[in-house]
A and B are shown apart, each in its own frame.
Chain A
Amino acid sequence: MPGLEDLYREIILDHHRNPRNRGELAPPASHAVGHNPLCGDEIDVYLDVTDGVVSDVKVGGQGCSISQSSASMMSQAVKGKPVDEVRALVRRFKGMMSIPDEDGNPIEPDPSVKLGDLEALQGVVKFPVRIKCATLAWNTLLEALEQR
C-alpha cells in the first residue's frame, strides 16, 4: 500500500488549510459548478477573461483536502495566464493524473508546460479513487471556459 505521505504532501495540506482565491465573481464572470457524484462534493469556479487572459479566478464549494487543495493550486496556476496556456496546463495536469485524451490515448507530457507546485499532486495517482477528487476543479474550470 502506498504511504499517506505520497498523498498528503505538506504543500497540499497547506492549500487545504489556507485555500487561495476563495470567493465568488459577479457576472459577467462565467461560473460553473462541478459535482463529484460519488462523494457529493461540489466545487464552484468563477472566471473573468479579459483580452484572452484569465484576469481573475475564484473558487467556492466544499470538498476533501485533495479536491480543495487541487482547486486552490489550480486557481493560482491559471490566474494571469492566456486561455490557450490554461488549456495546455489542464491537459498536462490530466496527463499527470493518468487521464487519457479524447481518443482514449495517454497524454504525453508537454515539457514546455510547467506544473510547478502542482507536481505535489502527483502522488494522487497511487490512490486511484482520489483522482476524481484532484481533477474535479480542473474539469469545472474547463466548463467555465466553455461558457464564455
Chain B
Amino acid sequence: MTNAQLDVAAIKAQFPLLQRELNGAPLVYLDSANTSQKPQSVIDAMSTFMEQSYAPINRSAYQLASEATDAYEGARTKVQRFINARRDREVVFTKNATESLNLVAHSWGRANLREGDVVVLTQMEHHANIVPWHMLVQEKGIQLRWVPLTADGQLDLTTLPQLLDGAKAFSFTAMSNVLGTITPVQQLCAAAHDAGAIAIVDGCQYVPHNVTDVQAWGADFLAFSSHKMCGPSGVGVLWGRESLLDAMPPFLGGGNMIADVRFDGFTTAELPAKFEAGTPPIIEVVGLGAAIDFLDGIGMASIRAHEAHMAALAIATLTERFGDDIQLHGSTDTEVRGATFSFAFRGIHPHDLSQVLDQRNVCVRAGHHCAKPLMRLMGVNATARASFYLYNDEHDIDVLADALDGATDIFGF
C-alpha cells in the first residue's frame, strides 16, 4: 500500500523536535491526540513577532501597537476562514478548548438553563464536556442525558429523538479522543435543532485532522485548541453563532470586555472583545495563525486522507502481527474513525506498556484520557493510546509493532 496523499518526509523535516534523537535513536511521537509538535514556521512566527512587533493590542495609539493588533486580529480572520465561520466577530480566543466549553456552559448555560432543563451529552465525551455540565447540575438542578454507544464505539442513535425530546442543548464530540470515532456532526446538529436544542460541538480532536465547516454543519458552538493543531499551547477557540453570542452574558470580567465601567455598574463590549477579558495570549494567537497557514498549505483534505490511510494500515499491521493479543478499541471502518487508537495488549497494564515502549522512543499515552465514564463503560481503568498525525509515516507503525513485541519479553505473557 503506498501513500500518495502527503510527502510525510518533507513535512516531518519541518518539525525541529522530530529531528531530535534520544539515546541515539529517533523519536516516534504517537501522542498527537494529547498535544501536537510544532513546525518551524510556527516557532519562527512567534519569535519574529516577539522580536519585531510585540506590543499591547486594542488599546494604544502608537504604530507598534497597531502592528501587534493587526497580527492578532489577522489570526482571528484565519480561524474564521479555516472553520468557514460567517464572520470573524464570532471567533473568540480562550485559553484552550476546555475554557471554551466552560464559557458556553457558564455563560449560555447560566442564562438559559433552569431547574429540570435537559442537556444531552454522549457517553464518549472528554471530562471537559462533562464536568462543566455536572457543575450546572449541582448549581441549577439541570438534568443530563447520555447518548449510548454501539459495540464498536460509535454513537447509537436509535433513541436520539427521545433523548433530545425537550432538551435545551446537545453537546457532543466530533471525534473521540479515546476511540477515534468521528461522529456525524451535521446529522447531530440537525437532530438537536429539530428538538429545539442548540448544538455544541467539541472539535478538539476533529479540527486538527479534518476539513471543518461550521456553516455546513449547522452548529451553534464549536470549541477547539491550538496546541493539538501544530500551534502553541495557551490558546483555544470558541466559535459561536453570532445571535447566541450577542445574547449571552459575559464570562470573565475585566479589561477589554467592557464598553463602560461606572461606580454603579458596567456595560459589555461588542463581540468578540466581550468574551476576551484581560490581556489575551497575543503571541500564542499569532502562533495559531501561523499553524493554520501551515495546515492550509498542506490541505486539510489531504491530511484527513493521509490519516485514514494510516488508520487502515495500523489496523492491518497490528492485527496481522498480534491477532487476538491486541484489542483495538473503536471501529475498524476508517470512514468513521481517525488515526487515534486506544488498545489493550496481552494483559500488560498500559502504564507498563508505555514505559517499555519509551525504551524505543515510542511516545504513547497511558491512562484514562480524561474520559473516566467511558473507561468505566469499557470496563477498564486505563488504556494505552497511539495517535498519528500528518508527520507520522508507515515506518512509525512498524516501530510501534516491534516495540510492542519487546514488551512481551519483559512481562513474559
State the A residues within 8 Å of B (CB).
1, 4, 7-8, 13, 38-42, 62-66, 68, 127, 130, 133
Task: Give 3 nearest A-B pairs by CB, closest first.
Answer: A40-B368, A64-B351, A64-B349
Q: Report how many A-B pairs have Cβ atoms within 8 Å.
A: 51
In Å, the complex CA distance between A37 and B352 comes to: 17
**Chain B 364-408 interface mask (CB, 8 Å, partner A; 1/0):** 001110001001000001100000000000000000000000000
Range of interface residues on B (Cβ < 8 Å) = 20 to 34
* Shortest distance from the beta carbon of B48 to any chain A beta carbon, whole Å: 35
In Å, the complex CA distance between A1 and B361 comes to: 11
CB atoms of A4 and B350 under 8 A apart: no
CB atoms of B381 and A42 under 8 A apart: yes
State the B residues within 8 Å of A (CB).
22-23, 349-352, 355-356, 358-359, 366-368, 372, 375, 381-382, 410-412
Chain A residues with CB under 8 A of B366 = 39
Partner of B382, one of A1, A8, A39, A130: A39
Partner of B411, one of A38, A40, A41, A65: A65
Chain B residues with CB under 8 A of A1 = 22-23, 358-359
* Shortest distance from the beta carbon of B64 to any chain A beta carbon, whole Å: 43
Can you list 10 A-B contacts (CB < 8 A)?
Answer: A1-B23, A4-B355, A4-B356, A13-B412, A40-B382, A42-B381, A64-B350, A65-B349, A65-B411, A130-B355
Assess A133 versus B381: contact at CB under 8 Å? Given A4-B410, A39-B366, A39-B367. no
* Shortest distance from the beta carbon of A23 to any chain B beta carbon, whole Å: 19
Chain B residues with CB under 8 A of A65 = 349, 351-352, 411
Assess A66 versus B411: contact at CB under 8 Å? Given A39-B382, A41-B382. no
Q: Apart from A8-B410, A63-B351, A64-B352, what 4 extra A-B contacts exist at CB < 8 Å?
A: A38-B367, A39-B382, A41-B382, A66-B351
In Å, the complex CA distance between A40 and B367 comes to: 6
In Å, the complex CA distance between A65 and B382 comes to: 13
- Best-surrounded residue of B356, B359, B410 (most CB of chain A within 10 A): B410
Chain A residues with CB under 8 A of B349 = 63-65, 68
* Shortest distance from the beta carbon of A120 to any chain B beta carbon, whole Å: 15
In Å, the complex CA distance between A13 and B408 comes to: 13
